[in-house]
């Protein structure tokens, strides 16, 4: 793969930035695609400054075929990791057309360009939401009664089916479909993490907002059980999976979870203990369509990839955005708009304000600097910048 790039779409997003980090750590050349209509690029720029030219950033809206073509023309690409998508559950219900357009068309456009430029390997980010309600837990990849409960989940299911059909008809393609369970936390350095100003953030990021006094409390809808997985475990699975493309296969669906169920109330308690904070919450009735419990069977990931989640729930809470928000962001979040969708850990802030900027005081004494080439450099730059 020397000289070739792994193209990561949605690279400046929450999971994308962690995947880019993991690939760079594994010494892989990364072409990080960010949406040409978006303004989020801070984490990628930081990673680029420290990556010894292994990271190239390109801007492209996957709904624009000319922009896609110009990227495939310019760069030698071996594999595509396709994370770009609209992931808002409530938005998908109120504007299904926007969700289907983005999630289906962007994938169709991408695959069309891949075929044209003879790039045949893809990892696609799907979700445990495609399982819907399952009576048999933990759920494995062969579970039959898939009944996604919202438009977002259906869009993932449709793309999975489309890729399966393409793989059957065109044997050159190899697709690995990762069904993520509930990614939370942040890179151990806390230098990248979930952007707390986004409309959909995980429950841990919401708790961080409360812990930092930016929100009064969180609201949960039913004490549902979820399979939380550290975002770095998810990210590392992608680097491991790249080796799989040497094997003879066309289509694989693999769960990425921790195989451990944790209730929302348990999660709040663990977060409180680990971070020594109090998180006021209110609990409301489970909403219609909300899945009661979902936990992954991850035997396939272990057998096929030799991958297993390594980090426990305590590290997820410790490596949450708690510290990084304190360092990097000053947020202003409208308290009355909080509304957690515990089904996917997406919340439905409706009028959250995008009011983010670096804090003036970076208290470097408070944070242990991990011994790692890339974030050492990043922290050095941050200190310089903030001074």
Ligand X SMILES: NC(=O)c1ccc[n+]([C@@H]2O[C@H](COP(=O)([O-])OP(=O)(O)OC[C@H]3O[C@@H](n4cnc5c(N)ncnc54)[C@H](O)[C@@H]3O)[C@@H](O)[C@H]2O)c1
What are 139's strand-pairing partners? 296
| Cα–Cα distance for residue pair 301/292, rounded to 1 Å | 24
Nearer to ligand X, 220 or 379 (CB): 220
Q: 121-127 and 30-34 as β-strands: parallel, antiparallel, unpaired?
A: unpaired
Q: 30-34 and 55-59 as β-strands: parallel, antiparallel, unpaired?
A: parallel
| Cα–Cα distance for residue pair 310/312, rounded to 1 Å | 7
Nearer to ligand X, 127 or 258 (CB): 127
Q: Does 106 sit near ligand X (CB under 6 A)?
A: yes
Least distance in Å: CB of 156 to ligand X? Answer: 7
Site string for ligand X, 83-102 (x = CB under 6 A): xxxxx--------------x
Nearer to ligand X, 48 or 102 (CB): 102
Q: Does 187 sit near ligand X (CB under 6 A)?
A: no
Catalytic residue among 152, 180, 228, 329: 152
| Cα–Cα distance for residue pair 146/83, rounded to 1 Å | 22
How deeply is 240 buried, as exposed, middle or buried, from its count of CB atoms within 10 A (0-12, 13-18, 19+)? Answer: middle
Q: Does 293 sit near ligand X (CB under 6 A)?
A: no
Least distance in Å: CB of 244 to ligand X? Answer: 19
Nearer to ligand X, 69 or 364 (CB): 69
| Cα–Cα distance for residue pair 183/202, rounded to 1 Å | 8
Q: Does 262 sit near ligand X (CB under 6 A)?
A: no
Cβ-contact 232, 18 below 8 angstroms: yes
What residues between 206 and 245 interact with ligand X by CB under 6 A? Answer: none
Query: Max alpha carbon distance in the chain (Å)?
Result: 58
Q: Tokens for 299?
A: 């035997």
Listed ranges 11-19, 208-216, 246-254, 348-356: which one lies at the site for ligand X (CB under 6 A): 11-19
Least distance in Å: CB of 186 to ligand X? Answer: 12
Least distance in Å: CB of 160 to ligand X? Answer: 12
Reduce the DSSP state of residue 172 to 3 states and report it.
Answer: coil
Site string for ligand X, 144-183 (x = CB under 6 A): ------------------------------------x--x
What residues between 330 and 369 interact with ligand X by CB under 6 A? Answer: 344-345
Q: Does 14 sit near ligand X (CB under 6 A)?
A: yes
| Cα–Cα distance for residue pair 277/103, rounded to 1 Å | 38
Q: Which residue's CB comes closest to ligand X?
A: 13
Listed ranges 7-15, 43-51, 214-222, 296-304: which one lies at the site for ligand X (CB under 6 A): 7-15
Interface residue with ligand X among 6, 32, 62, 378 (CB under 6 A) is 62
| Cα–Cα distance for residue pair 221/344, rounded to 1 Å | 12
Nearer to ligand X, 293 or 386 (CB): 293
- C-alpha distances (whole Å) from 196 to each of 20, 185, 199, 332 are 19, 12, 8, 10
Nearer to ligand X, 218 or 379 (CB): 218
| Cα–Cα distance for residue pair 205/196, rounded to 1 Å | 6
Q: 121-127 and 225-226 as β-strands: parallel, antiparallel, unpaired?
A: unpaired
Nearer to ligand X, 48 or 202 (CB): 202
Cβ-contact 229, 184 below 8 angstroms: yes
| Cα–Cα distance for residue pair 16/231, rounded to 1 Å | 10
Least distance in Å: CB of 80 to ligand X? Answer: 12
Q: Does 13 sit near ligand X (CB under 6 A)?
A: yes
- Give yes or no: 346 in active site: no
Least distance in Å: CB of 202 to ligand X? Answer: 6
Interface residue with ligand X among 5, 16, 92, 190 (CB under 6 A) is 16
In the DSSP assignment, the letter for residue 88 is -
Q: Does 192 sit near ligand X (CB under 6 A)?
A: no
Cβ-contact 100, 151 below 8 angstroms: yes
Cβ-contact 222, 265 below 8 angstroms: no
What residues between 29 and 58 interact with ligand X by CB under 6 A? Answer: 35, 38, 40
Sequence-distant (6+) residues with CB within 8 A of 269 are none
Nearer to ligand X, 81 or 379 (CB): 81
List residues with catalytic annotation: 152
Q: Tell me which residues touch ligand X (CB under 6 A).
A: 9-10, 12-16, 35, 38, 40, 61-63, 83-87, 102, 106, 125, 127, 180, 183, 202, 344-345
């Amino acid at each position: 793969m020397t000289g070739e790039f792994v193209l990561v779409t949605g690279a400046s997003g929450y999971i994308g930035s962690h995947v880019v980090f993991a690939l760079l750590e594994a010494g892989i050349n990364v072409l990080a695609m960010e949406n040409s209509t978006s303004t989020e690029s801070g984490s990628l720029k930081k990673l680029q400054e420290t990556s010894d030219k292994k990271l190239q950033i390109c801007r492209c809206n996957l709904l624009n075929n000319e922009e896609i073509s110009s990227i495939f023309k310019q760069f030698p690409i071996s594999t595509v990791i396709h994370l770009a998508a609209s992931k808002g559950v409530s938005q998908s219900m109120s504007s299904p057309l926007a969700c289907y357009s983005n999630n289906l068309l962007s994938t169709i456009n991408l695959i069309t360009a891949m075929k044209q430029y003879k790039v045949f390997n893809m990892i696609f980010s799907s979700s445990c939401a495609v399982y819907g309600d399952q009576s048999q837990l933990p759920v494995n990849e062969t579970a039959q009664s898939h009944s996604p409960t919202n438009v977002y989940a259906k869009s993932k299911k449709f793309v999975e089916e489309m890729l399966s059909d393409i793989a059957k008809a065109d044997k050159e393609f190899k697709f690995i479909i990762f069904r993520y369970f509930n990614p939370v936390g942040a890179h151990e350095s806390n230098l990248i993490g979930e952007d707390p100003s986004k409309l959909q953030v995980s429950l841990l990021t919401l708790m961080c907002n409360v812990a930092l006094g930016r929100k009064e409390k969180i609201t949960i809808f039913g004490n549902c059980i979820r399979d939380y997985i550290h975002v770095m475990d998810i990210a590392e699975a992608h680097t491991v999976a790249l080796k799989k493309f040497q094997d003879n296969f066309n289509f694989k669906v693999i769960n990425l979870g921790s195989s451990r169920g944790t209730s929302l109330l348990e999660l709040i308690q663990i977060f409180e203990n680990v971070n020594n904070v109090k998180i006021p919450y209110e609990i409301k009735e489970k909403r219609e369509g909300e899945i009661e419990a979902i936990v992954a069977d991850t035997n396939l990931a272990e057998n096929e990839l030799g991958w297993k989640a390594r980090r426990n729930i305590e590290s997820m809470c410790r490596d949450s955005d708690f510290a990084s928000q304190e360092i990097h962001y000053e947020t202003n979040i409208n308290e009355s708009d909080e509304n957690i969708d515990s089904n996917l850990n997406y919340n439905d802030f409706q009028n959250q304000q995008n009011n983010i900027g670096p804090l003036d005081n970076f208290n470097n004494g408070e944070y242990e600097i991990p011994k790692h080439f890339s974030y050492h450099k990043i922290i050095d730059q941050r200190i310089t910048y903030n001074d």
